[in-house]
């Protein structure tokens, strides 16, 4: 990355940050099927102290923890583990937990138990819009006031649009701008599919996970620029949030590199707009 790495711009402009996408895991505490491959650079513990080192120098005001793909039946154990981690750093202000929404009405009591954990703000679960149990689970989610983090691919955007339009009372956060293949210039098809969301006030776009989708052989900043600009055009500055996606980010870059690029992409915004993007919107979206 050719840009200088310097967090001073945030401090100088007195703009605090809320990281809406933090992962941590302890392989001695829970089981993570996707981390069984020893060749995966992420197949080791990533703990709170590691994150503190990664964000050193940045004015991180709060963080939102997002479920990390542990064994499905360990979802409540993950929540309780995160609650203990929060005792060491109360900036972990909320959590997006996993829950098997496809259980529908059968999962009501289990979700009530989950709701007793005051750290939980929302749920992230594989997208199953045609599944009757999933639909029922979403209705329960709405009743409980939880949000839904939606992690999909660009080809699923039309189904996601129909789902979001049919559930206007559900706050939906579109993770990683729907994971377009930035390095292979997928912009045109992705932009066409994401544009209809401009009319849906219940959908927020999380600007995260972009560096891991770029080609390291080219100018990564310029690869990302049309995607960033399109997100702002579609969602507006009131429906976007910043996410670090650490430590998955490490597949492509450091935390400092991502924040530095993010600042370069957003440098044309006013100070007021940056405040919304970096922290004000997140406070409302995740109630933190």
Domains of the chain, residue spans: 8-285
Among candidate residues 104, 146, 101, the one with its CA nearest the CA of residue 126: 101
pLDDT of residue 1: 46
pTM of the model: 0.95
Q: Count of CB atoms within 10 A of residue 3's CB?
A: 12
Q: What is the pLDDT of residue 231?
A: 98
* Closest to 143 measured CA to CA, from 170, 113, 107: 170
Task: Specify whether the CB–CB gap between 230 and 187 falls below 8 A.
Answer: yes
pLDDT, tens digit only, all 288 positions of the chain: 444 455 566 666 778 999 999 999 999 999 999 999 988 999 999 999 999 999 998 999 999 999 999 999 999 999 999 999 999 999 999 999 999 999 999 999 999 999 999 999 999 999 999 999 999 999 999 999 999 999 999 999 999 999 999 999 999 999 999 999 999 878 999 999 999 999 999 999 999 999 999 998 889 999 999 999 999 999 999 999 999 999 999 999 999 999 999 999 999 999 999 999 999 999 999 999
What pLDDT shows up at residue 12? 65
| Alpha-carbon distances of 57 from 180, 241, 255, 259, rounded to whole Å | 30, 20, 11, 11
Chain-centroid distance of CA 120 in Å reads 14
According to CATH, the superfamily of the domain at 8-285 is Metal-dependent hydrolases (3.20.20.140)
Kindly state the tokens that stand for 31: 């089981």
pLDDT at residue 2, rounded to an integer: 46
Q: Give the CA dihedral 203, 208, 210, 212, nearest 10 degrees.
A: -130
């Amino acid at each position: 990355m050719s840009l200088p790495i310097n967090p001073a711009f945030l401090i100088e402009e007195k703009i605090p940050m809320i990281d809406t996408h933090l992962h941590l895991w302890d392989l001695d505490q829970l089981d993570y099927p996707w981390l069984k491959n020893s060749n995966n650079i992420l197949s080791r513990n990533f703990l709170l102290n590691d994150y503190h080192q990664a964000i050193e120098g940045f004015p991180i005001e709060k963080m939102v923890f997002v479920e990390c793909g542990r064994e499905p039946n360990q979802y409540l154990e993950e929540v309780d583990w995160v609650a203990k981690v929060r005792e060491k750093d109360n900036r972990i202000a909320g959590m997006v937990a996993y829950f098997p929404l496809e259980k529908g009405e059968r999962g009501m009591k289990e979700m009530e138990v989950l709701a007793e954990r005051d750290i939980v703000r929302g749920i992230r679960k594989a997208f199953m819009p045609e599944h009757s149990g999933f639909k029922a689970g979403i209705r329960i989610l709405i009743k409980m006031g939880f949000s839904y983090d939606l992690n999909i691919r660009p080809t699923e955007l039309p189904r996601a649009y129909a789902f979001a339009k049919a559930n206007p009372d559900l706050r939906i956060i579109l993770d990683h701008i729907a994971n377009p293949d930035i390095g292979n210039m997928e912009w045109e098809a992705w932009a066409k599919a994401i544009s209809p969301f401009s009319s849906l006030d219940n959908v927020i776009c999380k600007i995260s996970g972009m560096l891991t989708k770029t080609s390291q052989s080219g100018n990564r900043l310029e690869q990302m620029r049309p995607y960033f600009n399109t997100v702002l055009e579609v969602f507006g500055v009131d429906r976007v949030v910043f996410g670090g996606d650490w430590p998955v980010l490490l597949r492509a870059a450091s935390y400092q590199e991502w924040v530095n690029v993010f600042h370069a992409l957003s440098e044309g915004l006013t100070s007021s707009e940056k405040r919304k993007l970096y922290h004000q919107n997140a406070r409302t979206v995740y109630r933190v």
